[in-house]
């Protein structure tokens, strides 16, 4: 096991984490169990921010939704 840093973007701002990262010698893939528990495996967006981005993108044009999410 190794420790790896990751930044997760949330509705309240960015959160820096350091989590355990495991590597499987058989399949040659790595994973961080904390990422799965937090719902951020494969992305840097929290589930709440991902939903807000999707809703903003569906409800308004790109540039206004980009500015809305940035705030």
pLDDT 10s per residue in the chain (71 long)?
789 999 999 999 999 989 999 988 898 888 899 999 989 999 999 999 999 999 998 999 989 988 888 87
The tally of domains found in the chain comes to 1
* Entry pTM: 0.75
Confidence (pLDDT) at 54:
92
How much is the pLDDT for 39? 92
Owning domain of residue 38: 2-70
Please give the angle made by the CA atoms of 70, 18 and 49, to the nearest 5 degrees: 25
């Amino acid at each position: 096991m190794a420790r790896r840093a990751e930044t997760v973007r949330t509705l309240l701002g960015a959160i820096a984490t350091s989590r355990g990262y495991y590597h499987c010698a058989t399949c040659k893939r790595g994973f961080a169990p904390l990422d799965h528990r937090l719902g951020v495996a494969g992305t840097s967006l929290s589930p709440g921010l991902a939903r807000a981005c999707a809703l903003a993108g569906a409800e308004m044009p790109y540039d206004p939704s980009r500015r809305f999410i940035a705030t």
